Copies of this chain bind each other. A is one copy, B any other.
Amino acid sequence: MKKGDETRLMILQRAAEVFNRKGYSGASMADIMQATGLEKGGIYRHFDTKDDLALEAFDYAVSLVELEFQNALKDKRDAIDRLRAIVGVYRAMPGGMPVAGGCPVLNTAIEADDTHPLLRDHARRAMDEWREYMVRTITKGIERGQIRPQIDPEELTTFLIATLEGAIMLSKLYDDTRHMNRAVEYLDTYLETAVRL
Contacts and interface: CB of A to CB of B under 8 A. Distances in A.
Interface of A: 21-26, 101-102, 106-107, 109-111, 113-115, 120, 123-124, 127, 154-155, 158-159, 161-167, 169-170, 172-175, 178-179, 182-183, 185-186
B123 A101 contact: no
B169 A165 contact: yes
A161 B25 CA distance: 27
Interface centre among A159, A183, A185 (most CB of B within 10 A): A159
Interface SS majority for chain A: helix
A162 B123 CA distance: 20
Given A172-B109, A172-B113, A173-B113, A182 B158 contact: yes
Which 10 pairs from chain A and chain B are nearest by CB? A166-B166, A162-B166, A25-B26, A165-B166, A25-B25, A162-B167, A109-B173, A21-B114, A110-B110, A163-B163
